Structure 1
Amino acid sequence: MREDIWGGAVAARRLTEGASLRDVLDAADPRAWLALDAGTRSWLAPGLLPTRAEVDGRRTWLSAFRGPEALAEPRLALALCHHDGRVREAALGPAARCPAVLPLVVVRTADWAAPVRERAQEVLRAALDPDTARTLAPLILLVGRRGRGAFGVGLLDEVLRRAPREHLAPLYTHPDRAVRRFAYRLAVEEGHFSPAELARAAARDTDPVVQDLCAEAALAAVPEDGVSDDVLELLLTARGPRVRSAGVTALRRAGRPDRAERFLADRSGLVRACARYVVRQAGRDPLIWYRRRCADAGDPALPPGAVAGLAECGERADGGLLWAMLGHPAPGVRARAVAGLRALDVTDVKRLRALLDDAEPGVVREATLALLPSAASLDDGWLMERLAAGRPRHTRVAAFRLLDACGGLVRLRAAAALLDDPDVRLRRWAGQSVQGWHMTADVPPGSVEVGELLDRGRHLFSEYVLKRRKWEAGIGG
């Protein structure tokens, strides 16, 4: 926000020099208008506008706003952002005749001064037509988040509801997701879309709120005794998991629970959970399906979602199936198998440790998570070897993460070894680890090695803090 205010102050200064609004800010960016409003008050050149010190009497200095040409557009914009509420209020009259500053009128509808706020609301109500509403919608919705910003949102809703439905069309694909949410919510309430159109909108939009809104509306708009095929297909084939999950849940209502089985292995956990619900409601046990699907650990067509689903609803006895998948050629299957073993609390430190050398980062990441609770029992020398610069980066990261979790002298050795590493992120992480290191009970007091390792990180400490760390470790001098 500080950068925004600074940018607004720069824009204000340029306006005092005669630059036009379109030259100093992006009129389509709602945050630019808020920045100008805040920036103008943070800096305003003396002598720019009539003030009490320049003109004797309030009536005289406010008379500058009575004529439509008394202030040019740049100075009118600055007047609307002035720190004196009487100046802002007086500027609203000419602003009604200057469309270029209408965004600042929107800002003033949430003004903290009631007279300014009420006058701005009158001006905006008179000026807002369907075309202007579409242009100002992003700013109105942004200002609407403020404590006194509800008026603009209510007026926008009122104007767009009265407008022909085609006026909303550009808002459905607006880059501002708040605008899309508003437009779709209004369209749903007004019944502008058929169920198939709503399902298509849910599948197309990338915003989760719009996806949920349109998917739920599509299903609510169809008869209670079934769901049409076109609506179901659009939902079930959508890329967004929230939309697919809505479609899968609707399979029960449509009387087609058999189709839910194919979604038991979906890549999304939410979709898998909905599929299990539908399958159970049909009187079947999804766990049986998962066990049968995962029985062949070498099946090249085995989807990772099936492995994840087995762990989500399986038992510890299913660990045998998951162990068998650690040699599967697909990295996604191996990663999900390791994650499943961790979820079922079936771990073998020795077997999982070998996975730190896996070629796939996802597998190594899951193995690391499973080994973290047992980090202190690992061979720190073996892990230190994997910090070598020639190792793959994901292996080095995993090794350091486990060594760091060991604490004590092991942690300090590992961090000190990476203080000069060419990998910037690893080097920074190691430096933070050294800075946060403190003496623990398993480190012998007065250790010469501790002193040498702390000295390697001398550049990370002030002299006082370094001396304090050494004192804690029982190292004098």
Structure 2
Amino acid sequence: MIRDIDGGMTAATRLAGGAPLETTLDVTDPGDWLALDAAVREVAWYRGAAKPDGHPSLPLPADLDGFDESRLALALCHRNGWTRQGAVSRAVRYPRLLPLVVVRSADWAGPVREAARQVLRETLDADSAVRVAPLLLRVGRRERGAFGTELLGRVLRGASREHVALLFADPDRNVRRFAYRLAVDGGLLGPAELARAAVGDPDSVVQDVCATAALSALGDEKDAYEKDVNEEVLSALLSARNPRTRSAGVTGLRRAGRPGRAEPYLTDGSGLVRACARYVVRQHGVDPADWYRRRCATADTPGSTPGATPGATPGPPPGAVIGLAECGDRADAELLRPLLTHPDARVRASAVAGLRTLDCVDPRQIRPLLDDPSAHVVREAVTTLLPGAADLPSDWLAERTGPGHARHVRLGAFRLLDASGGIAALRAAVALLEDQEVKLRTWAGQSVQRWHPSPDLWGQNVEEVGELLDRSRHLFSDYVLIRRKWEAGLRG
């Protein structure tokens, strides 16, 4: 694989010496062809000349008739437009040089470009189109490259399903996007196949294209065969790990006339899926806010959670807690506050996030959660307390940045101290500059570098500020250090 211009120059030199293509570059990798094309023009082409960096010259006579495949590949990349144009017409005899003809179809020189395009019109068939599709699409992003993409589409629209399917597994996501769009437009895949592609492909664009097409193809539930197909489509989409694909399946439940099946997704871990589920159940006459309230009101009733397994922690699922905040009102905060002490950390974290969503945060209730054993809960607590960080007791926060506390507690406390600013933030940051925890040490250094005294504190604690800045002088240039001291009220 050619990874850079130097690798391309090495490949060009070997081709000039007669080395065969397959031993010089990966003929299936579009990046290798593009690197070779770029590298050849970096080499001095004048006979007998050599570049200062040691790369030899690659002399190419004007008469190309006696060229073998390797040297014709170099001629297709030549600086001289007449040489490139002459090489294009001779490349027809060497099918493995088709990728360089693709590159020339977007050439800046009109005669070269038109010659290459004519060769592609005459020679590109389904087999060769599949082989050069990744390169055609990459060249298609160039200023004059649209021709190749359009030609690829025309050829593959007349090809068999098997040819297009070969592109579904291409490692290049742009190739898979092109192939699936082509398959959707041409009706090459059935609804169940599209649903499986939406679930199986890692690319979000492919997922959206296939999921949307699968849902559009849902049939009449009254027909037994169509009902089975619908079930296969919906089951696949609803089982997807990706929330966007899963949400498409939930939305499809309404189109299929099965809104009641959306209820379990009201507590999904994804906000997008929960929103889609709420939309669907509303069409079924269910008020999602009341549904959530009933689940959250069962927090103190052991075993009352629907579907709870024996021995499981009683109470609402975390998705019900945050779901209530998403569609409820401020009065629902009374249902969420008791959940701040729930045994399940996921429920506690959702309760904090829910109160923040409802704008019903009481810092006195959230502050104790900064010591929570769950890092997830502490992150939610910190996010909730950040807007009022300046009102939190700095000594209380500084004590929690010490080595006697859990890592996530120390990180959370320092985030709040840093947001509060002032001398307390500088004091805590300087104290952590040599901490054993790498992340804290890094954050502390960044905090010191961006620290500035607030105008209302100008001239206060100047001696301590000077001492703290001197302890961290390795983070500043001399000019910046003097400037920072001057901002704090220090002279000289």
Question: What's the TM-score, normalizing by structure 1?
Answer: 0.89
Q: Which amino acid aligns with 2:28?
A: A
8 Å Cα contact 1:62/1:90 also seen in 2? no
What is the aligned partner in structure 2 of residue 448 from structure 1?
A: 463
What is the aligned partner in structure 2 of residue 92 from structure 1?
A: 88
Task: Tell me the CA shift for residue 367 of structure 1.
Answer: 0.8
What is the aligned partner in structure 1 of residue 369 from structure 2?
A: 355
8 Å Cα contact 1:64/1:71 also seen in 2? no
Query: Counterparts in 2 of 1:173-212, with a 5 A limit?
Result: 173-212=169-208
What is the aligned partner in structure 2 of residue 37 from structure 1?
A: 37
What is the aligned partner in structure 1 of residue 329 from structure 2?
A: 315
Task: Tell me the CA shift for residue 225 of structure 1.
Answer: 6.3
Match of 2:488 among 467, 473, 477: 473
Map Cα deviations across residues 135-180 of structure 1 (whole Å, 9 max, x no partner).
2111211221222111111111122222221122222222222111
User: 1:407 & 1:19 partners in 2: Cα distance?
Assistant: 66
User: 1:49 & 1:31 partners in 2: Cα distance?
Assistant: 30
Q: Which amino acid aligns with 1:262?
A: P
What is the aligned partner in structure 1 of residue 104 from structure 2?
A: 108
Map Cα deviations across residues 370-391 of structure 1 (whole Å, 9 max, x no partner).
0000100111112112222343
Question: What's the TM-score, normalizing by structure 2?
Answer: 0.87
Over 3 Å counting, the alpha-carbon distance change for 1:83 and 1:389 in structure 2 is: farther
For the pair 1:147 / 2:140, whether they are aligned, the reply is: no
Match of 2:243 among 241, 244, 252: 241
User: 2:410 & 2:6 partners in 1: Cα distance?
Assistant: 42
Query: Could you say what secondary structure the match of 1:264 adopts?
Result: helix
8 Å Cα contact 1:335/1:363 also seen in 2? yes
Task: Tell me the CA shift for residue 50 of structure 1.
Answer: 10
What is the aligned partner in structure 2 of residue 464 from structure 1?
A: 479
Q: Which amino acid aligns with 1:343?
A: T
Over 3 Å counting, the alpha-carbon distance change for 1:50 and 1:225 in structure 2 is: farther
Query: Could you say what secondary structure the match of 1:100 adopts?
Result: helix
User: 1:441 & 1:403 partners in 2: Cα distance?
Assistant: 18
User: 2:350 & 2:463 partners in 1: Cα distance?
Assistant: 45
Query: Could you say what secondary structure the match of 1:263 adopts?
Result: helix
8 Å Cα contact 2:458/2:487 also seen in 1? no
User: 2:117 & 2:49 partners in 1: Cα distance?
Assistant: 25
Query: Could you say what secondary structure the match of 1:311 adopts?
Result: helix
Quick check: 276-285 or 298-307, which moved more? 298-307
User: 2:22 & 2:344 partners in 1: Cα distance?
Assistant: 55
Over 3 Å counting, the alpha-carbon distance change for 1:413 and 1:91 in structure 2 is: farther
For the pair 1:156 / 2:152, whether they are aligned, the reply is: yes
Task: Tell me the CA shift for residue 113 of structure 1.
Answer: 1.8
Unaligned ranges ≥5, structure 2 = 51-58, 306-312
Over 3 Å counting, the alpha-carbon distance change for 1:371 and 1:97 in structure 2 is: same
What is the aligned partner in structure 1 of residue 67 from structure 2?
A: 70
User: 1:336 & 1:127 partners in 2: Cα distance?
Assistant: 61
User: 1:392 & 1:22 partners in 2: Cα distance?
Assistant: 57
What is the aligned partner in structure 2 of residue 281 from structure 1?
A: 283
User: 1:189 & 1:351 partners in 2: Cα distance?
Assistant: 56
Q: Which amino acid aligns with 2:474?
A: H
Query: Counterparts in 2 of 1:389-428, with a 5 A limit?
Result: 389-428=403-442
Query: Counterparts in 2 of 1:260-409, with a 5 A limit?
Result: 260-298=262-300, 300=313, 302-409=316-423
Over 3 Å counting, the alpha-carbon distance change for 1:414 and 1:104 in structure 2 is: farther
Query: Could you say what secondary structure the match of 2:455 adopts?
Result: coil
Task: Tell me the CA shift for residue 290 of structure 1.
Answer: 0.5
Quick check: 379-388 or 226-235, which moved more? 226-235
For the pair 1:255 / 2:251, whether they are aligned, the reply is: no
Map Cα deviations across residues 208-239 of structure 1 (whole Å, 9 max, x no partner).
22222222222222336666323222222232
Q: CA RMSD in A?
A: 2.6
Quick check: 222-231 or 287-296, which moved more? 222-231
Q: Could you tell me the percent identity over the aligned residues?
A: 60
Map Cα deviations across residues 22-45 of structure 1 (whole Å, 9 max, x no partner).
44544333233333333333x314
8 Å Cα contact 1:16/1:45 also seen in 2? no
Map Cα deviations across residues 53-112 of structure 1 (whole Å, 9 max, x no partner).
xxxxxxx976332x1x42551x43333333333333232233333333322222222222
User: 2:344 & 2:169 partners in 1: Cα distance?
Assistant: 38
Q: Which amino acid aligns with 2:272?
A: L
Task: Tell me the CA shift for residue 7 of structure 1.
Answer: 4.6
Q: Which amino acid aligns with 2:467?
A: E
Q: Which amino acid aligns with 2:273?
A: V
User: 2:421 & 2:33 partners in 1: Cα distance?
Assistant: 51
Task: Tell me the CA shift for residue 4 of structure 1.
Answer: 4.1
User: 2:152 & 2:220 partners in 1: Cα distance?
Assistant: 34
What is the aligned partner in structure 2 of residue 28 from structure 1?
A: 28
What is the aligned partner in structure 1 of residue 75 from structure 2?
A: 79
User: 1:17 & 1:476 partners in 2: Cα distance?
Assistant: 72
What is the aligned partner in structure 2 of residue 56 from structure 1?
A: none
8 Å Cα contact 1:50/1:62 also seen in 2? no
Task: Tell me the CA shift for residue 327 of structure 1.
Answer: 2.2
Task: Tell me the CA shift for residue 17 of structure 1.
Answer: 5.9
Map Cα deviations across residues 326-373 of structure 1 (whole Å, 9 max, x no partner).
222332222221111111111121221211121222111111110000
Query: Counterparts in 2 of 1:113-124, with a 5 A limit?
Result: 113-124=109-120
Task: Tell me the CA shift for residue 16 of structure 1.
Answer: 5.0
Query: Counterparts in 2 of 1:52-71, with a 5 A limit?
Result: 63-65=62-64, 67=65, 69-70=66-67
8 Å Cα contact 2:60/2:75 also seen in 1? no
User: 2:235 & 2:347 partners in 1: Cα distance?
Assistant: 28
Quick check: 301-310 or 148-157, which moved more? 301-310
User: 1:217 & 1:422 partners in 2: Cα distance?
Assistant: 53
Over 3 Å counting, the alpha-carbon distance change for 1:389 and 1:191 in structure 2 is: same
8 Å Cα contact 1:6/1:39 also seen in 2? yes
